[in-house]
Amino acid sequence: MDSLRYCIANKGLEVYAYCIMTNHVHLIIGTHGEDLQSILRDLKKFTSVKIIKAIEDNQLESRKHWMLWIFRRSGEQNPNNEKYQFWLQHNHPIEIQTIEVAMQKLQYIHENPVKAGFVSEPEAYLYSSAGDYSGRKGLLDIDFLY
């Protein structure tokens, strides 16, 4: 969340919707004219450094050595990395050009935690903008689609 807040405040990122799952992230985003790919690159770099450090520093994490081995092995296969690779190299961006498509994507990302069995209602998932769209304040300030 801190990484997204930083990019909103300092990089011109506009977040319209988000859902952070255990193994992937969904975003509906835009910019104030800045290069979106550069913002995403910086976001991924910052978060990967923080997450790897948190894993390295956590003495209670039983999967620590295994996870670091996986990230190191992935990093060795990519000449752009210094040591670890946390994120996949590519995003799956979809340019949203109509409000109908935007609303469909909004519903899709907010339903992710329900489909995963984490919650029974989208608004109950903390790491999502579904609560914002239902009138509750979420963890991140968003720009509403409607």
Task: For residue 11, give the amino acid letter.
Answer: K
Average pLDDT, the chain: 92
Q: Let me know: does 42 contact 51? Beta carbons within 8 Å.
A: no
Domain 2-62+91-133 maps to which CATH number in 3.30.70.260, 3.40.50.720, 3.30.70.1290, 3.10.129.10?
Answer: 3.30.70.1290
- The pLDDT score that the predictor gives to residue 45 is 87
- The pLDDT score that the predictor gives to residue 92 is 80
Predicted confidence (pLDDT) per residue in 74-107, tens digit? 898 888 777 898 888 777 888 899 999 999 999 9
pTM of this prediction?
Answer: 0.85
- φ/ψ of 32, rounded to 5, equals -90, 45
State the pLDDT confidence band at 58, using cuts at 50, 70 and 90. very high
- The pLDDT score that the predictor gives to residue 71 is 92
- Mean pLDDT along residues 15-43: 92
State the pLDDT confidence band at 21, using cuts at 50, 70 and 90. very high
Strands (E) across 5-143 are located at 13-20, 25-31
End-to-end CA, the chain: 23
Q: ∠15-27-112 over CA atoms, to 5°?
A: 130
